[in-house]
Amino acid sequence: MAEKKYYPSEEIHVKEEFSSYVTFENIYGGHKTYIKIPNKCDINLNVYDLIPGISVIIEHSNLIDTFRSNNDILYYEHPEDALLLNYVAQGQCQYELEPDKYLFIKENYINVYIKELNPHSFSYIGDVTLYHIIINKKQFKEFTGRNKEFNEIVQELFESTKKENCIIFKSPNRITEIIEEFSRFEIKKEKSAKLFFELKALECLLVLYEYGINDEKNIQRTYSDATIRVVRNIKNSLSRNIASYVSLDALSLNYGINLTTLKNCFKDMYGKPLYTWYKEYKFIRAKELIKNTDYPISKIAYMVGYKSSSKFAKAFKKEMGVLPSVYRKNKK
In a domain, 85, yes or no: yes
Give the pLDDT mean for 140-156: 81
Domain boundary among 172, 192, 215: 215
Angstrom CA distances, 251 to 87, 238, 254, 278, stand at 34, 10, 5, 13
45 and 19 in one domain?
Answer: yes
292 and 244 in one domain?
Answer: yes
- This prediction's pTM: 0.80
Structural domain total, the chain = 2
- For residue 190, give the CATH number of its domain: 2.60.120.10
In a domain, 262, yes or no: yes
Domain boundary among 186, 215, 244: 215
Kindly state the percentage of the chain with pLDDT values over 70: 92
In a domain, 307, yes or no: yes
In a domain, 220, yes or no: no
Average pLDDT, the chain: 85
144 and 116 in one domain?
Answer: yes
Higher pLDDT, 293 or 182: 293
154 and 24 in one domain?
Answer: yes
Q: List, for residues 17-32, the tens digit of each pLDDT value.
A: 888 899 989 887 788 9
**pLDDT exceeds cutoff 60 at 91:** yes
**pLDDT exceeds cutoff 90 at 230:** yes
- For residue 264, give the CATH number of its domain: 1.10.10.60
In a domain, 163, yes or no: yes
180 and 42 in one domain?
Answer: yes
229 and 197 in one domain?
Answer: no
The pLDDT value recorded for residue 330 is 86
**pLDDT exceeds cutoff 90 at 164:** no
Distance between CA atoms of 137 and 19, rounded to whole angstroms?
Answer: 28
Q: Domain range holding 50?
A: 2-215
Pairing of strands 41-49, 109-114: unpaired
Give the pLDDT mean for 132-146: 84
Check: CB of residue 273 under 8 Å from CB of residue 263. yes
Which residues, in sequence order, are bridge partners of residue 295? none
Angstrom CA distances, 92 to 2, 95, 174, 283, stand at 34, 10, 21, 22
158 and 25 in one domain?
Answer: yes
270 and 195 in one domain?
Answer: no
Domain boundary among 188, 215, 242: 215
323 and 176 in one domain?
Answer: no
Question: 262: burial class by Cβ within 10 Å (0-12, 13-18, 19+)?
Answer: buried
In a domain, 287, yes or no: yes
